[in-house]
Amino acid sequence: MIDQFGEPHSRQLLPTPALVCDADLLSGNIERMATIAASANVGLRPHVKSHKSAYVARRQLDAGAAGLAFAKLSEAEAVVARLRAEGYAAPISALLTSPLVGSAVHERAVALSRECDLMLVVDHEDAVDELSTVFEDERESLAVLCDVDVGLARTGVVSPAAAVRVTERISTSKRLHFAGVQGYAGHLQHVHGREQRRRATLESAQRLQNVIELLEHEGHRVSLRTGGGTGTSEIDIEIGLLNELQPGSYVFMDREYRDALGSDPEGRFRQSLTIATTVVSSNQENFVTVDAGLKAMATDAGPPLIVGHEATARYEFFGDEHGLVTTGSRDSFVRGTRLDLVPPHCDPTVDRYDVMWLVRDDAVVGVVDVVARGCSQ
């Protein structure tokens, strides 16, 4: 284990597999997205689902983020609690981007709203009714957005008329107030080719525009228009419909984004996150075995890349605990060799680790709790 941070070569002492983040590249990515949003006069609400860390969230807020987006209620509870425990006293604007079901979770949401400025999304009138009945204090209220399906089809109202019905139900509640709309095009974030991604984003934006136009025609002010992600961030700015962006993966990046975005403007964030792994067996002629297997990373996006050996070596899954790394003519991997892997998909990979090690060159400079690990409720 690491006894003293900052010691030369301390990175080589990390127990593997380990989640490793380059501190300088992380900071650079945070600053870059903050600058892009500020220059366009668009609000930035980074999605915490990518890093699940109060440490990273704090740095995003300090860089000018308008607030934080959370996928799940328990994720928001964990990160907000840690920020407060670590002395962050400023108001925290928190948006829960997934609809809730049932009185019990709505009661938890109201409790969380006492610790931060919470906003919820709904896509059904019944959700409005459930939420309206769980307030204990008649002085309490919540801001609510209408979640709109812009093509992903995972959540959201499916028509402008349905959006009007949900919004009118919100407007009649004494405890709720309508704050705007959410349109998250998650299905577009990894579309290859910027022109193809731009055309698809325009179609998605038109669906949201149709909802906004009808809501405003019916007398509802649509103040907040939030959505987007890392892969469409600058395209969304060019289109100009959203006034707030919810990118998440830009702080780390991964192989899936690297493959899809290439040299596009949205892909100019640095690969700050890697998985450190060790060669544990080198007895075979054409491959070695490393200690990072299925349990070390998300596998939905295929295999990882091997940093520095992308063109000559290939990783293959080799079981729960192990991976197979082929050895090219220019590669010399012996027992004990340390390798760094570019994770295929950063969000669910981060969720497999208790801590993330911060490094600068070959030195470990800190360790960060993945405080919302496993918070999927």
Give the pLDDT confidence of 23-74 residue by residue, as tens digits.
999 999 999 999 999 999 999 999 999 999 999 999 999 999 999 999 999 9
Least confident of 1-15, 17-31, 74-88, 195-209: 1-15
In a domain, 5, yes or no: no
- 333 and 206 in one domain? no
- 203 and 329 in one domain? no
Residue 187 CB coordination number (10 Å): 14
Domain carrying residue 340: 10-17+269-369
For the stretch 251-280, pLDDT in tens is 999 999 999 999 999 999 999 999 999 999
Cβ within 8 Å of residue 157, ≥6 positions away: 123, 124, 146, 147, 148, 149, 163, 166, 211
In a domain, 70, yes or no: yes
In a domain, 257, yes or no: no
Measured distance between the N- and C-terminal CA atoms of the chain, rounded to whole angstroms: 32
pTM for the full predicted model: 0.95
- 186 and 275 in one domain? no
The pLDDT of residue 1 is 53
Whether 7 has a pLDDT exceeding 60, the answer reads yes
Total count of domains within the chain: 2
Q: pLDDT band for position 15 (50/70/90)?
A: very high
For the stretch 311-365, pLDDT in tens is 999 999 999 999 999 987 667 899 999 999 999 999 999 999 999 999 999 999 9
- 316 and 169 in one domain? no
- 242 and 176 in one domain? yes
In whole angstroms, what is the distance from residue 172 CA to residue 332 CA? 69
Sign of the Cα torsion 156, 162, 164, 168 reads negative
In a domain, 377, yes or no: no
For the stretch 145-176, pLDDT in tens is 999 999 999 999 999 999 999 999 999 999 99
Q: Which CATH number belongs to the domain containing residue 28 in this structure?
A: 3.20.20.10
Whether 4 has a pLDDT exceeding 70, the answer reads no
Q: pLDDT band for position 11 (50/70/90)?
A: very high
Which amino acid belongs to residue 223? S
Whether 102 has a pLDDT exceeding 70, the answer reads yes
Q: Which CATH number belongs to the domain containing residue 306 in this structure?
A: 2.40.37.20
Whether 204 has a pLDDT exceeding 60, the answer reads yes
- 306 and 235 in one domain? no
- 288 and 324 in one domain? yes
- 313 and 206 in one domain? no
Whether 304 and 274 have beta carbons less than 8 Å apart is answered as no
